[in-house]
Every structure is written in structure tokens, then in C-alpha cells.
Structure 1
Amino acid sequence: MESAKLVLLSLLLFWHQTCSGSHDTIAANESISDGSLVISRGGRFALGFFSPGSSSYRYLGIWYHDIGEQTVVWVANRNDPITGTSGILTGHGYCNLFLYSNSSSKLPLWSANVSAGSNGTCVAQLLDSGNFVLKEGAKGERKMYTVWQSFDYPTDTLLPGIKVGLNRRTGLSHLLTSWRSADDPGTGNFSFELNPSGSPQFFLYQGTSPYWRSVPWPWESNHDFFNDTFDNNEDGIYYSTAIMDSSVYMRAVVDPSGILKSMTWDEGDGRWKAFYASPKQKCDFYGTCGPNSKCDPSIVFPYECACLPGYEPRFPKKWHLRDGSGGCVRKRAEATSICGEGEGFVRVEKVKLPDTSAAVWVGLGTSKLNCEGECRKNCACSAYATIDIGGKGIGCLQWHGAMMDTVDFPLRAYDLYVRVDALELADYLKDSSGFVEFKLKISIIVPSVVSVWIVIALLAYLWLRKWKKRRGMAVKNRLIRNLFHTSDGSNYFETSEATKDIKHSTTIYPELPFFNLGTIQAATNNFSPTTKLGQGGFALVYKGKLPNGQEVAVKRLTKNSSQGLEQLKNEVLLIAKLQHRNLVKLHGCCIEDGEQMLVYEYLPYNSLDSLLFVVVDDSQRLFLDWRKRFNIIIGIARGVLYLHQDSRFRIIHRDLKPSNILLDAELNPKISDFGMARMLDYHQTEGKTSRICGTYGYMSPEYALFGRFSVKSDVFSFGVILLETVAGRKINWFSQQDPSLSLIGHVWELWRAGRAAEVVDSSLMLKDSNVAIRCIQVGLLCVEENPADRPDMQAVVLMLNSETTPLRTPNRPAFVCVRSKVSFVKEPVCSVNEMSFSGIFNR
């Protein structure tokens, strides 16, 4: 007994000698009670007792210590709350931790459950990563080893450094489980874990049922601030993330409602902001359309569910009533029908592959041809896909039986090859070749018809002249109408310079309303000059009011403008598919009697250009204060990010400028004028054109000089808009005062001189210019000369939203100096007007 006391006394002496004054550790046989805190060395996290929400129960947990909102990231006794404030956490001489409801209790509510005893040094420490670790060191040795850590037992929160996965040696599953409610951290109904079967994938479970599923492993990790790690070896299979910038606070959490959110702390707003959340849309929920089907989130009506090739609805009546839970079954159920002569595979492009936990790996290093061959050998094989396994080679996956949870997913997607019988394959080949046959027939019929009409015109020229003109216009209107309503877009994409690089097979456009010319004439008072809002190079814009009272903006194409018609078609096919709060909404179009018009939502504040640069009086500048300008900057950035990353195709706007940024009644920005936009698929990073379209001053140097465009071209344009918004000056204002200097050059000179605050519009009268100076620095990063140096829009949004994220020093920007009346390009420019239909201030 005396020897045991000596051991305990020596441990306490070691604690006082080595860690005196430290608040981040608990030594052996030391205790902390309710009201005391253990604070990590850098002050980021605290460990102690807390009561969540309106609850009176007490729990031992870890939370962020240096932010304004108590955000709990780990709970020890989540299912065993303490009544009152008598809880106590104590170390143990045999290197363990115990939590008791009071000092006299003999049964712990929770323990670290370390089974091995210790005769050496033991200490528990809270790290700045949020990890609470128990360390042990042998007598006489300074090195200590971790015997337990809270990161191995997460609750509902994933912090950088926490691994989610499976320890194959111990069988321990590292997973997240939601709280029951905001007031109760007990184990909730939702769990987030890694399923290692087939190709590993994350699942969000509701109880034991799949609720949401990620794309199969591997995932892309190309963020400037985060670094994802995937380990799969004999010890275990894990996913974890690391933060590149220690000043950024990031966490992922499974909330009690079953939403997985990734969030960063916004110091300026004093709150957590979610940059990712799922499930959100109907197709996000696991198995929405049942087995052997595909869910398309871009389709709301008539139905987002469709059977995979060779399948039909299991319950047709329920299917037509929009209940697809029963899924689809083979059209011909005989096993021999897909395992006989003439069967084949139909490609389903760009999907989130079916649930891979039911798939079978054929192995690495398997080509697509060999993967298909292996599937053919097995009559149970219903589909296959090839996956790039993180640079280790191509793997072959095969599905035997039902395929669950297939979703249209252009981002990080793969092609699925579904096995069909000979009859289905013949039907598919016939459908896919139908358009080619149609073109062949048209190429024969049209010349013959034209020849006949020429003969008729020669015989009855005077009598038929007027009739032919009207008839020809009607044919033209019908052709354009058919073009806009085509189900796959083939006619347009084969002839339009604006979208010639896109690769696609089937594109479904939403139905777009067509307005009668009489309706538009009545709405605009027959295009009265009093309703005119502005004009651009190819169109006039009028304000109108539809019969239902809705106010609209009508873009009327200038007659006999073939270039404008190309842009109008491009804009319809693009913007009709886009849905985002920072993009202008297209209500419909009108094509009648030689008129081509687009009908948009009406935005009362016109354009950013009109508020910034067409100043009627000083009150207008005072109205556009810093908070409004910053919100406009953030909104534009989010809209461009959607075009570059979150829309179904990667879209390069190519004509971003303040006159193409419209403002609604709440000054929310909406990007407009997609006539010059280009679509790329997600495998393309850039394109090139011989027709330079855009406005000087906003075009990036690589585009203006060489016709090369990419997402970084739009980043350059956004940077110019950002600087203009902060300065309250147009890009060419300084060249009017000094022909050798541009706005970019002016800002660059002041930045180098440490006088960036002088750039800020004097009418703003900012008390603290730090946020505005940060915006200037982001703007300079966006207008750097080398496209590779410019950040992408995802990084721009993060830099603007997080004041704690450090920014690198900008390099020399492009177009520091300008020369009056010197063109940057040799090729003809489609549009050099500095005004668009949205850019004229109505006064």
C-alpha cells in the first residue's frame, strides 16, 4: 500500500515540475469538476461541462473556445447525462480516464476504457486540433505514446484530422452519429459512415436504412484550402481531410434532421456558413426511383425518374402517378434474352454509378473492352463500368442483379454500360440513327423543293412575291420554333459557332413558353419609346406588363441581324436550363412576323453599371453603401461559381461587366446576357475561338490577344468588376485622365505604395477599410497576367467570405498601362460596345 502511494506521489511531482502553469493537460489522479476548463495550448478548443440548448442536464464535451458561438464538437457521456453540477472527470494512475456524476460515486458514467495498466508516466492533453489524447510514457523515457484519443470516437462532428472508416485490425468503425435534437446530444437516428464493400462510398443512414449515398471512391480533391486523404491498406480504410490554412475554422456535421453539412466560420458575420449540404434535392435521397432506374435532378415535370435501357416500370399505374419507389424490371424477364446471340450494352452517360456495395470488382488494369468481355461471360452480369482508381489504374466494376440509386450527375461522373437483349439493342440503334436518316432525307428533299419554288417564282414572280415573302417567313418561324423545342439539340449544336465544342448525346431542354406578338405589343405599349430601358449592339430592351400584371423586360432583336440571332439562340439554349438566384430568369420568347424577342424578369434597379457610373446626384452614391456593394460582389461571385462548377455544364460567360449585372428590388445581383457564353463539358478546361466576343477592359489578355478562354477568363472579368465596385470608377476612367494608365494600373500603383485605402470610393466613408482592402487584394489576384496564377471562383468565394483566410501577395496584373486607340487583337471582334441592353440607366 505504501509503495502505491509513493508511485502516485512521484506522478504528481512529475506533473508539477514539467507542466506547471499549463491548462491543456490532466495528470494522473488529477481531476476537473464542473466549472473548470481544460483549454488547448493555442486557445482554440476547451474541454469541460456544458448544457446544450435549453436542457438542464450536464455533459462533458469539447467545443470551440475562441469564437463567439459555443459549438460543441465532441461529447463523452452523450447517452448518460448528469443531473446537477456535481460531475467530475478524473485521471487514473493506471492511465485511464473516468467520468463520475459526483465525487462519491463508484460507478463511472463514461471511461476511456483503456485496459492495459501502466507503471510509467500518464497524461491527458487537449490539442489545438480538438483531439483529446491520453498519452503514456515508460519510466525514464521522455517519448510518450497515445493509448486513447477522442478522434477515434467522434460524435456528430468531423474535424480536420478525424478519420472516418474502418480499422481492420480492431474492427472499430469510425463514424458520425447525429444528436437527437439541439437540446439532446444523445445518439440520434442518423449516422454517416464509410461502406468499404465494392468501391468504397459514404452512406448516410436513417436507422439501418440508406438515406443518402456519395459517389464511389475516389473523390476529387483539388481545393486550395483543403486536402483530402484516402487510405486503403491492411490496417484499415479511411477518409480524412486536412486544412491547409490553420486560421480557417472548418467542420462537417450530421444534424438531427439528417442533413450532412460542411461549414466554415465567418468571423465578419459571427456565424457558421454552410458551403455544402446534402441531401437537398429529391434525387439526393437514396433509391428515390427504385431499382434499375435513373433519377435526373434537372427534371421536375413531368417526372424525374426514368427506367434504365431494357427496363420498364414494375408498377406502371404508380409510376404514372409519380411514385417510382417500385423501380423497374426487365422488359423480357427470361434470363436467356440477355445471354444469347445479339445482346449488347447501352451506354448511360455521366451518372453517379449505382450502389457499388452490390458490385463486384474484376480487378485493376482492366480495359473497357476486357471489362465488357468479362461481363458477357456471366449471364448474371447486368451492367459494368470502368473507374480510375486514384492514379493506380483502371478498375472494372460489374453489377449482378438490381442496380440501385443511379443519378444523372455530370460532375465527377462515370458512364454506365447496361446490358440489354438483342431486341432492345436493335430498338436503341434504330432510335440513335433516326436523326442521321432524317438529315439524309432532308438533304435530298430540300434541294428538290427549292428548285420547284424557283421555277414557280420565275413563272409568277410579281403575283407571288408578297405571298412568298410571308410564306418564307412562316417557314423560318416554324424552323426556329422546332429548333428551340428539339429534344436533343442536335441541329443547333452542329451549326452554332457558340457551342461547337460541346460533346453530348442527349440534352433535355425545359419547355419554354412562347408569347404571341400581340401580347408583347400590348405589354410594351407597342414598343413605345417611354418603355425603352436601353439598347446594346444587337437588341433594344423595353419594360412591359403582361395581362396577369407581371412586369417583364423584353429584349427585342434588331431585324436583319444574323449575328444577333446566333446570340439569341445561344442565350435561349443556355439560360433556359440555368436556375440560380444570382442569374437572371428567362420567362419565354416570341418569334413571330420577323420578330425575335426574349422575355425576362423585370429588375427595378436596372444594372450595376447604372448605379455605379451613371450618377444622377450624391444621394445615389450614398444609397449604394459598402454593405450593399459587398453583398453585390458576393452575389456575383456565387453566380459565376455556379456557372463554372455547379451547373450541368461548365459555362464560360465571356462578357462579364457591370452592365450585364442586373439588380432586383433587394439589390441582389443577377448575371444576364448569355449571348456570347460558351459551354464546355467537365473534361475541358479551356477553349479557343477566332471570333473574339466581349468588351475591351473586361477581357483577359489571353482571350483578347489569342482567343483562348477558360474559367480564368471570367475570373479576370470578375476581378475588374470587383475593383470597379470598390473604387466606384469605370475601368477606363483613369485612361481619360491619364492616357497611359488604366484602373488596374492605378490600383496596382497604390497597392505597391501601401496606399490601397485610397482606391475605396470616397462616398463610402468607411470607418474600417480592412474588408475593402481585402477585396482590393482579391481583385488584384483575379486580374493577374498569368491565368494559372489566378484563383478559381470557389477560392474567390471563400477568400471573400472569410476574413481570417490569409491571402498571398498579388503578382503584377495584366493591362497595367494602356494605349489609346490600340486594338489588342487582329481578328474581327463580335461586340465592342460597352453597353448592353441592361446597361442604360433610365432617367
Structure 2
Amino acid sequence: MARPNLIWPFLLTMLSALLATSSATDTMNPGDTVRDGESLISIGRSFRLGFFAPSSSSRFRYLGIWYNTISQQTVIWVANRDRGINDSTGVLSFHSNGSLVLSDARGQVYWSTGAAAGVASPVARVLDSANFVVTGSGGGAPAWQSFDYPTDSLLPAMKLGWDLRVGRNRNITSWRSADDPASGQYSMVVDVRGDPQIFLLQEATRLWRTGPWIGQRFSGIPEMKTYDMFAFRFHIGADEVYYQFDILNSTILSRLVVRPTGLVERVVWIEGTKSWNRFWFAPKDQCDSVSLCGPFGICNTNDSPVCSCVQGFKPRSPRDWYLRDGKDGCARRTALDCRNGTDGFVQVTGVKLPDTSAAVLNHTMGLDECRAACLRNCSCTAYSNAEVTGAGTGCILWGGDLTDLRVYTSKGMDLFVRVAAADLETSASRAKRMWVAAGAVVGAFLGTLLLGWIGWCLRRRKTKTNTVVLGDDLELPLFDFATIAAATGDFSAANKLGEGGFGPVYKGRLGDGKEVAVKRLAKNSVQGLDEFKNEVVLIAKLQHRNLVRLLGGCTQWEERMLGSLLDWKSRYQIINGIARGLLYLHHDSRLRIIHRDLKAGNVLLDEEMNPKISDFGMARIFGGDETEANTRRVVGTYGYMSPEYLMQGLFSVKSDVFSFGVLVLEIVSGKRSRGIYHSDPNLNLLGYAWSLWKEGCGLELVDPSMVCSYPAAEVLKCINVGLLCVQDLPEDRPTMASVALLLASDTASLPQPKQPGFVGMRGPLEGSSSASKGENCTVNNVTVTIFDGR
């Protein structure tokens, strides 16, 4: 029996498919139809319009638009989202009056656009922007467009907001569920009242707020300015108020989408993984919830509890407040006295501006005019600049309660809140008392910290006064040796806290009861007077919650800071805290500081496990335009120094980034960078982490003491960030600003790291004599000191 010739049916099938594809058009003329199984494709083949089912189990069919060039069907617009067709007889018809009508075989209409008034010879067309438009055959402004009726997604060139000429509000609203495109509970809407802003709503309940537009970003999205692949716009005019974005790289696909879960996300398409990855999302944390701390309450995720009152205010419901229920907010301690003109303002720094729905906006006023205008109006409760460009421009005036106020660690704005004169005086006197007390403690501590230097000076009879001046603006009290000796029990071994590069550190108590820690410069110290003085000056000048403040100390553990006592939440908190401290040193402090000796032993933990960066003896101050420097004397700790610093003496902010990356990998793994690993005795921690990462086994790096009690995605993100920081070339490493953003963003689209520096170098065995205190090793005449931490 002859075999049937199957090639002809196959070729006919392929030819039919090719003809169907080639015949696809982007345009409908009056009388044309698109039936279920047919489609329109934009002229650049970017988007397709046709019928779809949201899932294999769905019995309804919908007319929609989706990306045509990616493998995962992603619907961005649905015509009949709230009324699905329950069979495959749907047909889209285009009529001579310019109306589009979606119906089924029975003539039942499921969706229509109405007539296109005033348009001769209308055509309907799918554009490469994904906009489905009805225009005249010669073009011109659309008589109807799908962009005016968004579903759950905002694409480049789409407008989110109001067309005030016709009263149309263009919101994006979530699907009801992943397989049901019907209108869900969550919407992103523009509120045009006061100073316009965008809200995420659950039906009528406000969940999250962008804050007002402040020139280059929204007040409530401080990271927005760092997204250099996007161009953002917020237009406020008499005819329209809308938000819009564009993508500067045409090869990137991105959209803003409201999820059925109540999140708004910016996602980007990753071709390598054939998936959409989250680039940004909101709400992120509890302080993103609208007015969690109520009127005149401030939310700060770095505090515990997160709610506090603006200066001059107290909790309205103290019992609820201390039970962590802040919704009632805060009330004034003293009533305002507008008539006598005695009211003043307290400055709240680094904030997301309060709800501006009832605020008054003036773009021409300066800040001084803004203050005067607020004082003239007895109902005015606060003022601020409207934009952050330059020194700040424009004026926002608030009346009534200030709600949804939160602070950020960086990139927040200054808000000036009106308070009574009595509260200004009370606050000032309270602040003065606090500064006097803090100054006494700091002075005592710094005085004791200078003990070695003072003794050196005394022995040479160089000290003539009761004060010592360090630099141009730092004057410190001078303590006599007897006072310090008495405070520490004559430097008894029982009071010794530990020992570092300068020498031993002791705990003590001064005659007035103040507890101090005394760092004594030892005669055989491998670090000298310059480094000692350098540390005192820097710590005295720098202020940040993740830098050590010389107010006391408590050490109960050795350098082995990790172990079964630290769960993942604590470790993640430590990683983020160290990142914030370094970001402050590199970018936000008035001095640009390179630490040069960041390691586990120089990160102290307070009673709440908040990290404090310490030991600034090796630190260097950079000028405003300096980015790197060279030194003939390399100082630091083996295992944490970057390749270019160890081998060439070159250091920059990227040297600290390398050290931070090592710390991250140590914190995740619970292993020291100097250890060796069973998989390969020639691998140090960086090599071990790199080999696991390349094999797709990154989670094998995790400290076994945590068992499985950690979020895998968050841990992998930290390992990824750590490996990015320890890349061999400094130009490949991110800045600490980028690191902080990567750590704060819940995203799977992190860059893939390149090979770290020192991957194959054998580190000294942990606990071996080669890691003993104070040993020096020399590489190419470069001195490296290895210390055990305190």
C-alpha cells in the first residue's frame, strides 16, 4: 500500500497561516468587521487587537489589545471587560457614522463607542502605541480613542487623569482577578483638588498617595528621580490634569499596572527570562498607608513605634497611641494666638508632604513670602516650597489638619508647621537641655577618647589650657589623667571592653555618674596620633542613626556577630542600616567620607540590633569634586579591601562599596571572608559565593542556623547585591545610592554580577596564627594590617 503524501496538506496549512498573517491589517473602514479568530495588528507589528479568553478555564470571550512581539500574552486593554461574550460568535463592526459595535451572533450588543461626530470618511486603526483610534481618513485628532478608557495598565504616552473640557476621568482599575478582566476593587486616580496628586483607592478608601508633584518627581516617591530610563511628566492646566511617562530606550517594554491584589507596579519585560519583572511598586511599607499616624502625626519606619507627634503636639488618644493605634493622631499642646502674632514655625525635615487636597498652591511665591502669607492667615497650619528645583520655588499653604505625613532617610522635603509661641519656647528650652546633656556626655567621651593624645601632650608640657581645639570648629574639654584613671578603675582588666588598632577600650563611670567608654592609645599601637585625631574629628562632626554616636557602648560578644541569635529579619535590618550609613557618608553628609576600614568588627549593634558604623581612624575626607585618591600607605583589614586599593593604593567610594559587599555576604552566610570552604580549599568567601551563584545554587550560601525561616527572594536579592558590590573593576560596582535603591526595591530585574575580585585567593584559616592580632603582611611594598575585632 502506497504511503499517503502528507507534504501537500502541511504546505497548504503553512500557506494558509502565512496568508492570514500577511493579510492582517491595522485599519478598519466602514462596513469592515473583525470576527473571533481574526485580528488587527499595528503597522509596526507591536500590538494586536482581537478576541481572547483570560484563561483556559474561562467560558467568556473578550475583545482586547495585547503585545504582539512577546511570548507571554499580556492584555493591556479590554473593550467589554464587564460583560464577557459566552461563546466565540463575537464580531466587531465598524459603521459609517464612525461607531464601533461589539455584538454576538444573536445581535446582542456588548460594547459600543457611539458615533464619531463631525468626522468625514472615518477609519479605525490600531497604532504602534497600543492606542485604538477613530479618525478621519486623512488623520487628525481622534474622535474616539481607547487611551481615554484605560483598563488596568498605563503605557507610554497614555494619560492618567482628567480631561476637564469634557469631564472625563481616565483611571486605571485592576482586574477582578487574574482570570477575570471585570473592574476590580483597586483604582489609581488623579485628585485635582488643591495641589493635585494621585491616589490608589480600594473602592472609595484611600490606600496610598503619591503626594504632590514637586518638579521632577512626586513628593511621596523619592526614588523616582533615579529612574533615568524614563521621562515623567505631571501636567496641571486649565483643560487637563494628568500624569504621563515615556521610555527613553525604545527597546524596553514597560507599563504601570494596578493588580487585583491592591498593588500598583511598574513592570519591565525581560526577554532572557520571558517574563515581566517588577521594577517598582507601592505601597511598600506601613508608612505608605494613608495617614497611619493621624492628623499631625509623623510616620517613620526607622522608629519603633513608627508614629510620633510633630513638635508642639501630643497624642490625642494616649492610651490608643501607646497601643500602636495612631489613627486619632495628635493635638496641639497650646492653642494658636494669631491675633497677637506670636505664633511661629517648627521645621520638619525629610518629609513626604502632607495631603494637599485642601492646600493652596502658588507658583510665584518664594519661601519667605510663603511664610508671611501663612502668618497672615489664622487658618494656615503649615507651608512649604512647591518644587525642589534649585533652592526651592513656589509655595504650598495648608489649612486645617496635616495628614499622611511621613519622613524619609533621604530626598524628603522641608515642612514648616505652625505652633504656639509657648511650644516654640518649650521646644527650644527642651532642645537646649538635651544638647547640654548630650554635649556633656559627648564631651566626656571624646575627652576620654583623646586620653592617649592628651597624655602625650602632657608629657611634653604642651598643654597650656583646659580645652583642646581640633580643626577649625571643634573645641573639646580637656580631662586630667587622674579623672580618667579613677573612672576606669585604674584601667582594670575587669573594665576592659576589647582592643582594636589604637589599643584597649575600657568602660567607666565619671564622678557625676555618666557612663563612658575610654579608648586608650597604646604605646605599641600600629596606628598613630594622626589616625586617632582623625577619628575623633570625624565622629564628632558626623551625625546619622547608622553611624556610631559617642554616647556609650556595650559589648558582650566577640567579632563573631552572627549566629543562631540572629534571624533573617535582624540580618536584613543590619544590611539595610549599614547601607544607609554608608550612603550618608558618601553622598548626604556635609563631608564626603571614605571609611577605608569597613568590616564586621567596625559595625556595632545597639539593643534593638540597629547597626552603627564605627572606627573612623582610617577614614578620608574628599572634596566636593574628588572621586578617588592614591596612597603609598595602604591601611585596612585583609578580606575587606578592594583589589585596586590593596594592589595599587587607589581608593574611592567604590572601595567602601566592595567592603560592604563582603559584609553582606558574611551576614547572609554567617561565615568570615577569611575562611575556607569544603567545596574548594582555595576559595575564600567571595569565590565560594560566586561559584554557588554561577551554578544557580545561591541559597546554599545561607547560614544553616536560619533553617528555612527566611524569604528566599529577599535573600537572593541580597546575595545578588553583595556580588555586584564585590566585582573586580570599581566601575562595575554600583554606588551606595544605587545599592540602597536596589535593597529597597522588590524586584527580580537586578543586573547579573561579574566575577568578584580575589575569587581564587586562599584566605588565612579562621582562628589560625596568620589571623592573629596585629600581624603585618606586605604585598609590593604595601602594608596591610590584620586585626581581630573588639
Q: What TM-score, normalized by structure 1, do the two folds share? A: 0.60
Q: 2:240 aligns with which of 231, 236, 239?
A: 236
- C-alpha change, 1:56 and 1:346, in structure 2 (3 Å) is same
Provide the residue aligned with 1:35 in structure 2.
37
Alpha-carbon deviations, 1:543-589, whole Å to 9, x = none? Answer: 87xxxxx3679xxxxxxxxxxxxxxxxxxxxxx9x977496599xxx
On the 8 A contact 2:599/2:637 being kept in 1, the answer is no
TM superposition shift of 1:456: 12
Name 2:360's counterpart in structure 1: 360
Q: Secondary structure at the match of 1:115?
A: coil
Match of residue 194 from structure 1: 190
User: How far does residue 269 in structure 1 lie from its aligned partner after superposition?
Assistant: 3.0
What do you get for the CA RMSD once the two structures are aligned?
5.7
1:345 aligned residue: 345
Distance in 2 (alpha carbons) for counterparts of 1:209 and 1:269: 37
Counterparts of 1:441 and 1:582, CA distance in 2: 31
Offset, 1:212: 0.6
Superposed displacement of residue 111, structure 1: 2.0
| 8 Å contact from structure 1 (residues 715, 792) kept in 2 | no
What is aligned with 2:296? 292
TM-superposed CA distance for 1:55, in Å, is 2.8
Compared CA separation, residues 274 and 122, structure 1 to 2 (3 A): same
Distance in 2, matches of 1:441 and 1:643, equals: 27
Aligned to 1:406: 405
After TM superposition, the structure 1 = structure 2 runs for residues 335-734 of structure 1, keeping only pairs within 5 Å, are: 335-336=336-337, 339-366=339-366, 368-388=367-387, 394-438=393-437, 454=482, 469=492, 476-477=507-508, 496=536, 502=542, 517=556, 541=560, 550=564, 581=572, 698=642, 709-710=652-653, 714=657
String of CA shifts for 1:110-167, please: whole Å, max 9, x gaps: 223343154325232242x3222223225xxxx5543322222211111122111222
> How far, CA to CA, are the matches of 2:378 and 2:740 in structure 1?
46
User: How far has the Cα of 1:428 moved from its partner?
Assistant: 0.7
Structure 1 match to 2:709? none
Letter in 2 for 1:343: D
Structure 1 residues 476 and 400, CA gap change in structure 2 (3 angstroms): same
Any idea what SS the aligned residue of 1:49 has?
Answer: strand
Contact 1:292–1:402 (CA<8 Å) still a contact in 2? yes
Q: Deviations over 1:72-131 (max 9, x none)?
A: 21111111221211111111222232111x1441x632223343154325232242x322
Q: What secondary structure, in the 3-state scheme, does the structure 2 residue paired with 1:416 have?
A: strand
Report the alpha carbon displacement of residue 223 of structure 1 after superposing the two structures with TM: 2.4
**Which consecutive unaligned segments of at least 5 residues does structure 2 have?**
1-20, 218-223, 448-465, 468-476, 498-505, 518-531, 602-610, 666-672, 674-689, 697-720, 758-777
* Aligned equivalent of 1:60: 63
Take 2:628 and 2:427, find their aligned partners in 1: how far apart are those partners? 35
The reply to whether residue 275 of structure 1 matches residue 279 of structure 2 is: yes
Equivalent residue number for residue 306 of structure 1 = 308
- Is the contact between residue 318 and residue 324 of structure 1 (CA under 8 Å) also seen in structure 2? yes
- C-alpha deviations, 1:228-263, integer Å up to 9, x for none? 123333432222111122222212211122111111
Match among 149, 156, 177 for residue 153 of structure 1: 149
2:250 maps to 246
Q: What is the deviation of 1:783?
A: 3.8
Instruction: Name the structure 2 match of 1:135.
Output: 135
Using a 3 Å threshold, how does the CA distance of structure 1 residues 103 and 471 change in structure 2: closer, same or farther? closer
Offset, 1:204: 0.8
Question: How far apart, CA to CA, are the structure 2 residues paired with 1:67 and 1:834?
Answer: 53
Report the AA paired with residue 23 of structure 2: G
**1:346-380 CA-partner distances (Å, limit 9, x unpaired):** 111111111012212244241x3332222111221
Asked if the contact 1:262/1:274 (under 8 Å) is kept, the reply is yes
What do the CA deviations read for 1:702-746 (whole angstroms, capped 9, x no partner)? 997786x44697389979x99xxxxxxx9xxxxxxxxxxxxxxxx
What do the CA deviations read for 1:439-497 (whole angstroms, capped 9, x no partner)? 6767799979998984999xxx9xx997663697597356899679xxxxxxx999655
CA contact (8 A) 2:313 2:330 kept: yes
Unaligned residue ranges in structure 1 (runs of 5+)? 1-18, 485-491, 521-538, 545-549, 554-575, 587-638, 661-671, 723-729, 731-759, 767-774, 814-819, 839-843
User: Any idea what the Cα deviations from partners look like across 1:277-318, whole Å, max 9, x if unmatched?
Assistant: 211321111011111111111224xx2111212222222222
CA deviations on 1:641-685 (whole Å, 9 max, x unpaired) are 99759x99799886699999xxxxxxxxxxx996679999xxx99
Q: Is the 8 A contact 2:119 2:135 kept in 1?
A: no
Q: Distance in 1 between matches of 2:537 and 2:396?
A: 38
What is the CA deviation profile of residues 772-801 of structure 1, one whole-angstrom value per residue up to 9, with x for unaligned ones?
Answer: xxx9xx999994779999995699999x97
Distance 1:400 1:317, change over 3 A: same
Secondary structure of the residue aligned to 1:214 is strand
**Residue type of the alignment partner of 1:111:** S
The amino acid that maps onto 1:406 is L
Partners of 2:82 and 2:395 in 1: how far apart?
44
**Worse overlay, 156-165 or 470-479:** 470-479
Q: Kindly indicate whether the alpha-carbon contact (under 8 Å) linking 2:174 and 2:259 is maintained by their aligned counterparts in 1.
A: yes
Contact kept? 1:641, 1:793, Cα under 8 Å? no
CA distance in 1, matches of 2:272, 2:162: 38
Residue identity opposite 1:311 in structure 2: F
Cα offset, 1:343, TM superposition: 2.7
The 1:311/1:834 distance shift into structure 2, 3 A limit, reads same
Alignment match, 1:112: 113
Q: Secondary structure at the match of 2:385?
A: strand
Structure with the bigger percentage of helix? 1
How far apart, CA to CA, are the structure 2 residues paired with 1:496 and 1:189? 57
Partners of 1:47 and 1:126 within 8 A in 2: no
CA distance, structure 2, for counterparts of residue 59 and residue 823 of structure 1: 74
**SS of the residue aligned with 1:247?**
coil
What CA distance in whole angstroms lies between the structure 2 residues aligned with 1:170 and 1:206? 26
* 8 Å contact from structure 2 (residues 644, 650) kept in 1: no
By how many angstroms is 1:206 displaced?
A: 1.9
Give 2:36's aligned amino acid.
Answer: D
Q: In 1, are the aligned partners of 2:24 and 2:39 still within 8 Å (CA)?
A: no
Name the counterpart of 2:86. Answer: 83
Query: In structure 1, what is the Cα distance between the partners aligned to 2:653 and 2:279?
Result: 24
Counting aligned pairs with the same residue, the percent is 29
Does residue 76 of structure 2 align to residue 73 of structure 1?
A: yes
Q: Distance in 2 between matches of 1:169 and 1:467?
A: 83
Moved more, 228-237 or 153-162: 228-237
Query: Which string of whole-angstrom CA distances, capped at 9 and with x for unpartnered residues, describes residues 318-368 of structure 1?
Result: 2222211111222234x53x55354311111111111012212244241x3
AA in 2 matched with 1:63: W
Counterpart contact for 2:657–2:736, Cα < 8 Å: no
The equivalent of 1:535 in structure 2 is none
Is the counterpart of residue 23 in structure 1 residue 11 in structure 2?
no
**One-letter code aligned to 1:184:** D
Q: CA deviation at 1:222?
A: 3.9
